[in-house]
Amino acid sequence: MAGDRLLVPVANPETADRLLDTAVDLAADRDLEIVVLTVVTVPMQLSLVQARQSLDVEDEEELVSDAVERVRGYDVDASGRVRFGRSVASGICGVAADVDAEAVLLGWRGRPRRRDVVLGSYIDAVLADAPCDVLVERIDRDRTSVSSVLVPVAGGPHTALASSVAGSLARAYDARVELLTVVPDRTEEAVSSARDMLTRTSPTLGAVESVEETVLEGPVVDTIVDRSELHDVTVVGAAEGGLYRRVLVGDVPETVAREADGSVVMVKRNDPVSTALWRRVRDRVGSVFR
């Protein structure tokens, strides 16, 4: 990963604390500075310079200031920014580039899917365009302590990041981790291959006291969701490959994130090549309807 900062956009005081708790857990383990951000959207008829001079952002400044103070209370470095931008997503991506962020941590309320939106309009855009890794935490459920973390493993490009994030959370709470992979049938070859994949993944957790490697047979999503009932947090990587919608997170991670018990964190590793491909496909599809 690139930088030594974790960017945490906040907009609602009622949900900011949940997101900041996870941010502190990650930042303390990785020795990162947390950059708290709120974005003020500016209509096209108003220039950004005019917006800075005329818009009242006292509430936004107070939100950022309170969040920074909360983070520093855990002895974690923190700074804050109020960004003026044409959209929330462009503001987040712009600041991520400005501060050379290692990752962006976004909050997601788990709202029902719309036909043209995967997780949310600005979340989708950040997933597609961010110049760094993106973590999306479901924040519509309370989480107090963490005794166990589930990591579904499929061997894709985002698996190592999911495992690394799970390791950080486990160390923060001295929790155990279960690495899980699901096979369609328990043939000797399928189980052996699955166990090899789990063994290769385990070191990416880092130093975790208790790690369990599990191979289960059954439907992938249902099996993961059922297993999540035994854990406090599920960390799932985005799916590999796909175009347009699927490249954002993928059907399996998205469904797991909506249905899994407890807290869920989805992760997407920054891949400049696939991001550029997604943008080209998006632009071409968009041009057809202009």
Distance between CA 270 and CA 289 in Å, rounded?
A: 29
Distance between CA 102 and CA 32 in Å, rounded?
A: 9
| pTM for the whole structure | 0.85
Q: Tell me what pLDDT residue 250 has.
A: 54
Q: Same domain, yes or no, for 134 and 148?
A: no
Q: Tell me what pLDDT residue 282 has.
A: 45
| Alpha-carbon distances, residue 277 vs 30, 128, 161, 179, 272 (angstroms) | 31, 10, 21, 31, 9
Longest dimension (CA), the chain: 68
pLDDT tens readout for residues 203-256: 999 999 999 999 999 999 999 999 999 999 999 998 764 333 444 445 777 888
Indicate whether 201 pLDDT > 90: yes
Q: Tell me what pLDDT residue 290 has.
A: 41
Q: Read out DSSP for 84-140?
A: EESSHHHHHHHHHHHTT-SEEEEEE--PPPBTTBSS-HHHHHHHHH-SSEEEEEE-S
Position 262 confidence tier, pLDDT thresholds 50, 70, 90: confident
Q: Same domain, yes or no, for 87 and 37?
A: yes
pLDDT tens readout for residues 142-167: 766 899 999 999 888 899 999 999 99
Task: Tally the domains of the chain.
Answer: 2
Q: Tell me what pLDDT residue 168 has.
A: 96
Q: Same domain, yes or no, for 80 and 215?
A: no
Q: Tell me how crowded residue 40 is: count the other CB atoms within 10 A of its CB.
A: 17
Q: Tell me what pLDDT residue 274 has.
A: 52
Which domain range does residue 45 map to?
1-140
Report the chain's mean pLDDT, rounded to a whole number: 85
Tell which wins on pLDDT, 47 or 24.
Answer: 24
Q: Same domain, yes or no, for 178 and 273?
A: yes
Q: Tell me what pLDDT residue 229 has.
A: 93
Q: Tell me what pLDDT residue 271 has.
A: 75
Q: Same domain, yes or no, for 4 and 127?
A: yes
Distance between CA 223 and CA 217 in Å, rounded?
A: 8
Q: Same domain, yes or no, for 132 and 160?
A: no
Distance between CA 288 and CA 116 in Å, rounded?
A: 16
34 φ, ψ to 5°? Answer: -90, 130
CATH of the domain at 236: 3.40.50.620
Quick check: helix, strand or coil at residue 174?
A: coil
